[in-house]
Amino acid sequence: MKKKNGMVLLYVMIISFILFLICSMLMKWRMQMSLIRSKAVKSAGGLSELEKARAGMWECLNDKGYPPAGSCSATAAQRQCVPAAVTAEFAGDTPDCIIKLSIDKQ
């Protein structure tokens, strides 16, 4: 009888250990998914910040006559349209002007 009780206890302990491993794997997977989702949201937030800056900057550049005739580089007055947290690189040849934007996250 004692041998049978010991085997039942051993089986219960093994099954409990297996269930514990499964639960810990599920928790780890869930935490990884939350981390991935959080990174995606932060990345999208940075893109929306860049889009807001781009829209306002283009409105200002158009008001100040960008691009000037014959050149894609901006004048000093037009460079003032670039927000402080944004870095803009003006390049290309007219009419294919390129503005490369990057935002400084703090």
Residues 6+ apart with CB under 8 A from 69: 94
- The more confident residue out of 66 and 31 is 31
With contact defined as beta carbons under 8 Å apart, do 72 and 95 qualify?
no
- Model pTM above 0.85: no
pLDDT in tens, 46-104: 667 777 777 888 888 888 887 767 677 888 888 888 888 788 888 887 778 888 887 77
Instruction: Residue 94: give the domain boundaries.
Output: 2-103
Name the token pair of 6: 């010991």
What is the radius of gyration, based on Cα positions, of the chain? 30
Q: What is the mean pLDDT of residues 2-26?
A: 92
Number of domains in the chain: 1
